[in-house]
A and B are shown apart, each in its own frame.
Chain A
Amino acid sequence: MKGKRSWFLNEEGQLSIDFIIGFTIFMVAFIIVATMMSGILISLQSRTIDYDAVAYRTSVMLIEDPGEPWNWHLLNRPYQEDRDFLKRLGLSISRLSPGLLQQQKVDAFFDNSSAPGFSGGWSLRYPEDYKYRLLYTDYPYSLNITLRKIDKSTQLNLGPELPLNQKFGYVRRVVKIKQTPNMTVNLLDPSVASDPSLMILMNFTKLYSRTSPLYRIEPMNEPILIKVQNVPAPITIEELLYDRIVFEGSAYNNTPPVSYPTIWVSKDGGDICTSFPCDITSDFFYIHIDEGMFRPASIPFEGRYNEDSQVIIKLYFNKIVTDGSFTDFGYTAAAITAPEPAILEVRVW
């Protein structure tokens, strides 16, 4: 009978109220600890690791991406309407050329001079624009970006100095910066010349035929410098006009705009011809075509040119200086100086 007794209810092995209370206290404490665990560990994480990741990400966006739109440096950035088109800052020439930067984007990026209102100057605003178009975060990171050409000729700096003893994220990248396309034109001696006009023809189709953007002259995207030499000084430039050939035989005589972006002439010593006629006293002068002068149709506001456009730039002198034929701005005469290597450093804290 003793064996059967164990099947009956008795007082042994019952769950005591002490145990229930103890167990409840333990479980509550345990759940609290378990939920706090991840929070406790987060504070153990080194801050510099997060900073390093942000610095790396920023450098990748800057030097491996052309930004959005890819020719954002042509936007009239002080104007809100144009600024709204700028979605992302990036410095490379194109998506296919990481590490190869566009000089104009570099200049625009590092120019954050404060302008009153939105119409005074050509600038991005620090830190808002860099925060929402480069860092993409609300976390109050501080940013210092420095670019120095390897030959030490230029040093550009953005953002505040790094505070002393501050932990920071860091990355250093090596880049190359594409230089301005240029050409030299020799005027003819008056004894063999027959025409008072210098006509420079830019055939965009031919210029854009090269596939690699590093070696391609892109008149819709970058400035162009033309040196005119062998000038029979003193001489007067009577007029400077430009034409866009829309179809065979058609041409418009346009005066370049008065303000940037435009086509302008600079003389020996840096003086600028502000109006025409303009006297030239030395045997050379420069014709500058600003980037954005031939805004591509993909850029809003007055973009009229595309990769098949043809443009003629005309200069009329008071003397005969050419034989009247077109001077072709093409790869045989024009060149791009070798890209300049530079170091880019990003610090985030």
Chain B
Amino acid sequence: MVDDGGQLYTIEGISAGILMLVTAYLVISSTTVLTPQDVHITDVQLEQLGNDALAMLDTRDYYDDPRSPLQEYIFQNDTINKEYFAENFTLYCNSTTNAVKKDKLRFNATIHYINSMNKVSSYVYYKPDDYDYYRENAVKVSRWIYLEKGPLNDYPSDIRTGPNDPKMVLMEVLLWRA
């Protein structure tokens, strides 16, 4: 039986439907300005500073210098050179133009390399004794370092395929504010 049930009687129904569609369309297509969170900006500042510090450490002082300071620290890999690295990296990162105020950045450094089995290995290059990383908001900065041939002291033995191969390693510094 055909009857009146289920029919669309009123034009209000149609207009309400169109109204909802138009509303939805306007809301979706309207420009939304998203406010980025402040923390990202701080990250950029920290990352830039870390990259600057690594770049400056990796700049030779004189034309005849065989290695940049950073290459020297990584190549020698002994206590005294690790101390130089920590000292200079701290100096570059924590110095400000204020006479008394210093920044409080902390860091540790890891070296990544392709080992003799063609897998990526890591070696903790520098880890401070007096503090550790406890999931603070941190950034990672890295720099490729070329090491010419010669013995690489105190590194894991799989760092080289042959005893006198030059090696490219990636130094990664984790940087955070205390």
Is this pair of chains taken from one and the same complex? yes
Inter-subunit contact B15/A46 (CB<8 Å): no
Which residues, 1 to 45 on B, are CB-close (under 8 Å) to A?
Answer: 2-4, 7, 9-12, 15, 19, 23, 26-27, 30-33, 35-36, 38, 41, 44-45
Are A212 and B38 in contact, with the CB atoms below 8 A? no
Known contacts A12-B9, A339-B61, A44 near B53 by CB under 8 Å: no
Q: Flag whether A30 is at the interface (Cβ < 8 A).
A: yes
0/1 string, B91-131, CB within 8 A of A gives 1: 11101110100010000000000000000000000000000
Q: Does A99 lie within 8 Å of B56, measured CB to CB?
A: yes
Q: B35–A44 contact, CB under 8 A?
A: yes
CB of A338 within 8 A of CB of B63, answer no
Q: Chain A residues near B61: list those with CB within 8 A.
A: 338-339
Interface size counted on chain A using CB atoms at 8 A? 50
Interface status of B59 (Cβ within 8 A of chain A): yes
Known: A52-B45, A99-B56, A339-B61. Contact between A150 and B12, CB under 8 A?
A: no
Q: Is B97 within 8 A of A341, CB to CB? A: no
Flag whether A259 is at the interface (Cβ < 8 A).
no
CB of B168 within 8 Å of the partner chain:
no
**Interface-side segment among A35-43, A120-128, A183-191:** A35-43
B residues near A56, Cβ cutoff 8 Å: 44-45, 48
Contact A210 B36 (CB under 8 A): no
Question: How long is the Cα–Cα vector from A190 to B11 in the complex, in angstroms?
Answer: 117
Contact A49 B59 (CB under 8 A): no
**Which A residues from 280 to 300 make CB contacts under 8 A with B?**
none
Q: Write out the residue numbers on chain B whose beta carbons fall within 8 Å of the beta carbon of A335.
A: 62
Q: Are the CB atoms of A175 and B45 closer together than 8 Å?
A: no
Interface check B49, CB cutoff 8 A: yes
Q: In the complex, A146 Cα to B53 Cα: how many Å?
A: 18
A73 vs B59: C-alpha distance when bound (angstroms): 24
A15 contacts B12, C-beta separation under 8 Å: yes
Q: Contacts A99-B56, A148-B97 hold; do A13 and B9 have CB atoms under 8 A apart?
A: yes
Question: Cβ of B52 < 8 Å from any Cβ of A?
Answer: yes
Question: Which of A165-173, A221-229, A239-247, A305-313 has 4 or more CB atoms under 8 Å from chain B?
Answer: A165-173
Residues of A331-346 whose CB lies within 8 A of B: 331, 335-336, 338-339, 341, 343-345
B178 within 8 A of partner (CB): no
A165 vs chain B, min Cβ distance (A): 17
Q: Of B44, B59, B60, which is in contact with the most chain A CB atoms at under 10 Å from its CB? A: B59
Which A residues are in CB contact (< 8 Å) with B32? Answer: 37-38, 41
Nearest-neighbor residue (CB-CB) of B53 within chain A: A174
Q: B8 — nearest CB in chain A belongs to which residue?
A: A13
Question: When the two chains form the complex, which single residue of B26, B49, B56 contacts A34, counting CB atoms closer than 8 Å?
Answer: B26
**A100 closest partner in B (C-beta):** B59
- The residue on A at minimum CB distance from B59 is A176
CA A174 to CA B91, docked complex, whole Å:
10
Known: A42-B33, A99-B56. A172 touches B49 (CB 8 A): yes
Contacts of A170 in B (CB 8 A): 45
Residue A80 is within 8 A (CB to CB) of chain B in the complex: no
Question: Looking across the interface, which residue of chain A has its beta carbon closest to that of B3?
Answer: A3
A172 x B59 contact (CB < 8 A): no
Establish whether residues B44 and A176, one from each chain, have CB atoms under 8 Å apart when the complex forms.
no
The answer to whether A263 has its CB under 8 Å from any CB of chain B is no
Which of chain A's residues has its CB closest to B41's CB? A52
Q: Which chain A residues border B31 with CB–CB below 8 Å?
A: 37-38
B59 touches A146 (CB 8 A): no
Q: Given A6-B4, A6-B7, are A215 and B56 neighbors across the interface (CB < 8 Å)? A: no
Does A147 belong to the interface (CB within 8 Å)? yes
- A141 in contact (CB, < 8 A): no
| Contact partners of A341 in chain B: CB under 8 A | 56, 92
- The reply on A19 being an interface residue by CB < 8 A is yes
A132 within 8 Å of B by Cβ? no
Please give 10 more A-B residue pairs, beta carbons under 8 A apart, in addition to A99-B52, A174-B92, A335-B62. Answer: A30-B23, A37-B31, A44-B35, A52-B41, A150-B92, A155-B97, A174-B52, A215-B63, A336-B62, A336-B63
17 A-B pairs with CB atoms under 8 Å apart are A23-B15, A30-B23, A41-B33, A49-B35, A49-B41, A52-B44, A99-B56, A99-B59, A146-B97, A148-B96, A150-B95, A174-B53, A174-B56, A174-B93, A176-B56, A336-B63, A343-B96
Identify the 3 closest CB pairs spanning chains A and B, nearest first.
A215-B63, A338-B61, A146-B97
